[in-house]
């Protein structure tokens, strides 16, 4: 018999999940009862049963960041008290975000709890995060996250089981009261699944026949290190020098585990200096990816378009299941739209955040999708999947190299030749004053409402359409409003401005710009040079400097 104590608590403000769960400073989660409250709200909001978590099977995994073990202990104590039937937890709590999604689906779990703040730095002064995923393996939709938030505002009591500390370092099954706790190898199921999706023999053959083709994978001290090691070194037989920073560290070794040209500069430098043909990185929790080559950077918007272009030829999963439709988040460039059009596929534009792809995938209407924020994935799971994207690129490389030697840059240029090039860039202004940022967006919203933008000429561009993006989910009919200011010009170029929903502190303004060209002479142009005119227009129209006091962005991707 396990003793359950009822402990008084009071609601905390702001336990509202954002784009991808609740993300706050570790210090915030460390406040007495703060984490307990949120977990309690999550357990009560589980949609499958009206009593909340009673009888549920939940998969628990995280990216290994600081404070993970403490939160695991809290989850067990509250789960035992709530009558959860089974918890399936990765060894030491380590499971990547896409692998949690994979395991939820494989074992038909009720849902899962993901302990990560993704690409945000970790450590006692950095970030932690908690996210709930549903039985389809995908991030909870807004109906569920809103319910979590509403419950968090009313909590008066916590039900906490009085149990000793659980050891998560050994594989095996334990029983705590009526709860079964299984500690699993969080890498195994995922690796097995990847072997059914991709043709590993073909990739191995490519490396065997092209001994001089060198690849370097950077786990950024996050969760994907063990996955990369298992797949690239043990399965594909590449030398151990093909992987770097492959041990998960609680503070990511002080790195900012965000795979882009700024934060993954260690990889970028090594690829250039040591002459690698292919470089790839993943973020803290393993759902993002960056692909680079010799003198080549693949924008995530191009990456998803290229994967979609080759999917049925190069990847067995799509040969077998077909490609049902394509989707991207609204700020992502329109390169994917062109592939959908050429292949006659159904196409969707959804708000930022992977949760919006889930319904489309469950309904069999979307097979491949992506976000400009280094997120690429497919309906094999319900999360974006960094390692999957890297394997997809290796499959494409193996495929195209059967006829002639092609590197990453050649694949890009070949794609532009067929579709034209969508130059794209995102400017992030991190931790700006929230009021200034909101006022800036409010002003644009006002101009849209008063119809002051359409028809206006800005330098070489003329505004054809301006709105605050709203999404009507074609599957469940839900509406998501105010998803970002969108200004579209007559030549198809676009400016998008929105505030981040994942920051843990202050506001982050994201400014996205896109310009299309089908003039082959322009394809080799550096992105920032090609986009300069439209960036100038964006800064002028938004009066960003006036509202935020920032002359320069924190990060350009
Ligand atoms: C950002 C990205 C978004 C992504 C989200 C979660 O959200 O822009 O595309 O889905 O992070 O990714 P926001 O609201 O800050 O712009 V992850 O790897 O942090 O789970
Ligand atoms: Co992530």
Q: How far is the CA of 373 from the centre of ligand 1 (A)?
A: 7
What SS3 state is found at 81? helix
pLDDT tens for each residue of 154-210: 999 999 999 999 999 999 999 999 999 999 999 999 999 999 999 999 999 999 999
At 491 the pLDDT is 86
At 355 the pLDDT is 86
Which ligand has an atom closest to residue 330 CA? 1
At 350 the pLDDT is 96
Which residue, by CA, sits nearest to atom 11 of ligand 1? 502
Nearest atom, ligand 1, residue 120 CA: 19
Is residue 91 a contact partner of residue 102, using CB atoms and an 8 Å limit? no
392 has a pLDDT exceeding 70: yes
pLDDT band at 428, cuts 50/70/90?
Answer: very high
Verify whether ligand 1 is closer than 6 Å to residue 283 (CB atom): yes
Verify whether ligand 1 is closer than 6 Å to residue 373 (CB atom): yes
19 has a pLDDT exceeding 80: no
Query: Which residues, 6+ apart, have CB-to-CB distance to 292 below 8 Å?
Result: 267, 268, 271, 278, 279, 280, 298, 408
Verify whether ligand 1 is closer than 6 Å to residue 385 (CB atom): no
At 297 the pLDDT is 94
- Ranked by mean pLDDT, which of 251-260, 376-385, 475-484 comes out on top? 376-385
Verify whether ligand 1 is closer than 6 Å to residue 430 (CB atom): no
At 504 the pLDDT is 66
148 has a pLDDT exceeding 90: yes
Verify whether ligand 1 is closer than 6 Å to residue 557 (CB atom): no
Which residue, by CA, sits nearest to atom 10 of ligand 1? 353
At 505 the pLDDT is 72
231 has a pLDDT exceeding 70: yes
- Average of per-residue pLDDT values in the chain: 94
Which ligand has an atom closest to residue 285 CA? 2
* Of 543, 518, 517, 544, residue with least CA distance to 531: 517
Q: How far is the CA of 381 from the centre of ligand 1 (A)?
A: 17
Instruction: Report the share of the chain in percent with pLDDT over 70.
Output: 99
* Of 180, 266, 192, residue with least CA distance to 235: 192
* Of 220, 39, 247, residue with least CA distance to 121: 220
Q: Tell me how far apart the alpha carbons of residues 217 and 202 are, in angstroms, rounded to a whole number.
A: 19
Average pLDDT of the residues in 310-339:
97
Q: Tell me how far apart the alpha carbons of residues 496 and 188 are, in angstroms, rounded to a whole number.
A: 40
Q: Catalytic: which of 79, 96, 101, 118?
A: 118
At 36 the pLDDT is 97
Which residue, by CA, sits nearest to atom 13 of ligand 1? 500
At 20 the pLDDT is 81
Verify whether ligand 1 is closer than 6 Å to residue 371 (CB atom): yes
At 487 the pLDDT is 95
Q: How far is the CA of 385 from the centre of ligand 2 (A)?
A: 9
Composition of the chain by helix, strand, coil, percent to 5? 35, 25, 40
pLDDT tens for each residue of 327-366: 999 999 999 999 999 999 999 999 999 989 999 999 999 9
Q: Is 143 assigned a catalytic role?
A: no
Q: Where are the beta strands (DSSP E) in 135-194?
A: 157-161, 172-176, 179-184
At 88 the pLDDT is 98
Query: Which residues, 6+ apart, have CB-to-CB distance to 521 below 8 Å?
Result: none
Nearest atom, ligand 1, residue 116 CA: 20
Nearest atom, ligand 1, residue 329 CA: 9
Q: How far is the CA of 248 from the centre of ligand 2 (A)?
A: 14
Q: List the structure tokens of 458.
A: 């800005």
What SS3 state is found at 63? coil
Q: How far is the CA of 97 from the centre of ligand 1 (A)?
A: 13
Three-state SS for 8-59 is ECCCCCCCCCECCEEEEEHHHHCCCCHHHHHHHHHHHHCCCCCCCCCCCEEE
Q: Tell me how far apart the alpha carbons of residues 480 and 488 are, in angstroms, rounded to a whole number.
A: 20
Verify whether ligand 1 is closer than 6 Å to residue 510 (CB atom): yes
Verify whether ligand 1 is closer than 6 Å to residue 284 (CB atom): no
Average pLDDT of the residues in 425-431:
93
Q: Tell me how far apart the alpha carbons of residues 15 and 37 are, in angstroms, rounded to a whole number.
A: 9
Nearest atom, ligand 1, residue 285 CA: 18
What SS3 state is found at 439? helix
Verify whether ligand 1 is closer than 6 Å to residue 230 (CB atom): no
Q: How far is the CA of 119 from the centre of ligand 2 (A)?
A: 5
At 50 the pLDDT is 62
Verify whether ligand 1 is closer than 6 Å to residue 101 (CB atom): no
Verify whether ligand 1 is closer than 6 Å to residue 426 (CB atom): no
Q: Tell me how far apart the alpha carbons of residues 284 and 221 are, in angstroms, rounded to a whole number.
A: 7
Verify whether ligand 1 is closer than 6 Å to residue 40 (CB atom): no
What SS3 state is found at 343? helix
Nearest atom, ligand 1, residue 288 CA: 18
* Of 87, 393, 131, 104, residue with least CA distance to 285: 131
Q: How far is the CA of 169 from the centre of ligand 1 (A)?
A: 30
Q: How far is the CA of 484 from the centre of ligand 2 (A)?
A: 21
Instruction: Report the share of the chain in percent with pLDDT over 90.
Output: 87
pLDDT band at 492, cuts 50/70/90?
Answer: confident
At 267 the pLDDT is 96
Nearest atom, ligand 1, residue 508 CA: 15
pLDDT tens for each residue of 55-70: 999 999 999 999 999 9
Residue of 115, 126, 352 best suited for mutating to test ligand 1, as the one with most atoms within 8 Å of CB: 352
Nearest atom, ligand 1, residue 18 CA: 14
Q: Tell me how far apart the alpha carbons of residues 395 and 401 are, in angstroms, rounded to a whole number.
A: 10
Question: Which of 50-54, 112-116, 209-213, 553-557 shows the lowest per-residue confidence on average (mean pLDDT)?
Answer: 50-54
- Ranked by mean pLDDT, which of 310-319, 442-451, 518-527 comes out on top? 310-319
Q: Tell me how far apart the alpha carbons of residues 267 and 343 are, in angstroms, rounded to a whole number.
A: 35
Which residue, by CA, sits nearest to atom 2 of ligand 1? 373
Average pLDDT of the residues in 245-264:
92
Domains in the chain (CATH in brackets) are 4-186 (3.40.120.10), 190-419 (3.40.120.10), 421-556 (3.30.310.50)
At 460 the pLDDT is 87
Residue of 101, 381, 502 best suited for mutating to test ligand 1, as the one with most atoms within 8 Å of CB: 502
pLDDT band at 51, cuts 50/70/90?
Answer: low
């Amino acid at each position: 018999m396990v003793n359950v104590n009822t402990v008084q608590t009071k609601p905390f403000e702001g336990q509202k999940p954002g784009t991808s769960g609740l993300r706050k400073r570790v210090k915030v989660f460390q406040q007495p009862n703060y984490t307990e409250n949120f977990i309690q709200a999550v357990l009560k909001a589980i949609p499958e049963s009206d009593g909340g978590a009673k009888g549920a099977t939940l998969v628990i995994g995280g990216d290994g960041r600081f404070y993970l073990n403490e939160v695991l202990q809290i989850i067990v104590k509250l789960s035992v008290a709530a009558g959860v039937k089974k918890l399936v937890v990765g060894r030491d709590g380590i499971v990547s975000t896409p692998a949690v999604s994979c395991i939820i689906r494989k074992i038909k779990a009720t849902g899962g709890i993901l302990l990560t703040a993704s690409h945000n730095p970790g450590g006692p002064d950095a970030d932690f995060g908690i996210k709930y995923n549903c039985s389809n393996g995908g991030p909870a939709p807004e109906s569920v996250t809103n319910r979590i938030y509403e419950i968090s505002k009313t909590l008066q009591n916590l039900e906490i089981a009085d149990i000793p500390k659980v050891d998560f370092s050994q594989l095996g099954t334990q029983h705590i009261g009526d709860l079964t706790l299984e500690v699993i190898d969080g890498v195994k199921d995922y690796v097995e699944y990847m072997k059914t999706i991709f043709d590993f023999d073909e990739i191995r053959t490519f490396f065997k026949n092209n001994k001089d083709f060198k690849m370097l994978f950077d786990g950024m001290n996050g969760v994907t290190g063990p996955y990369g090691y298992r797949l690239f070194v043990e399965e594909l037989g590449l030398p151990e020098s093909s992987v770097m920073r492959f041990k998960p560290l609680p503070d990511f070794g002080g790195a900012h585990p965000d795979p882009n040209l700024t934060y993954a500069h260690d990889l970028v430098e090594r690829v250039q200096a040591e002459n690698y043909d292919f470089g790839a990185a993943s973020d803290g929790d393993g759902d993002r990816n960056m692909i680079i080559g010799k003198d080549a950077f693949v924008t995530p918007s191009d990456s998803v378009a290229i994967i979609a272009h080759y999917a049925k030829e190069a990847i067995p999963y799509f040969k077998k299941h077909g490609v049902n439709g394509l989707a991207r988040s609204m700020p992502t460039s329109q390169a994917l739209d062109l592939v959908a059009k050429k292949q006659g596929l159904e196409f969707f534009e959804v708000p930022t955040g992977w949760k919006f792809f889930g319904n489309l995938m469950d309904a069999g209407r979307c097979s491949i999708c992506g976000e400009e924020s280094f997120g690429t994935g497919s309906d094999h799971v319900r999360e974006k999947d960094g390692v999957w994207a890297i394997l997809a690129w290796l499959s494409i490389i193996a495929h195209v190299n059967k006829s002639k030697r092609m590197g990453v840059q050649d694949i890009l240029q070949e794609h532009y030749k067929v579709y034209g090039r969508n130059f794209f860039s995102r400017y992030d202004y991190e931790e700006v004053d929230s009021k200034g940022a909101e006022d800036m967006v409010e002003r644009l919203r006002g101009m849209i409402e008063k119809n002051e933008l359409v028809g206006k000429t800005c330098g070489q561009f003329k505004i054809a359409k301006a709105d605050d993006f709203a999404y009507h989910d074609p599957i469940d009919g839900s509406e998501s409003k105010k998803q970002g200011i969108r200004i579209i010009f007559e030549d198809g170029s676009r400016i998008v401005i929105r505030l981040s929903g994942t920051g843990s502190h202050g506001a982050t303004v994201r400014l996205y710009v896109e310009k299309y060209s089908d003039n082959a002479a322009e394809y080799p142009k550096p992105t920032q040079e090609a986009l300069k005119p439209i960036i100038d227009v964006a800064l002028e129209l938004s009066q960003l400097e006036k509202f935020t006091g920032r002359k320069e962005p924190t990060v350009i991707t």
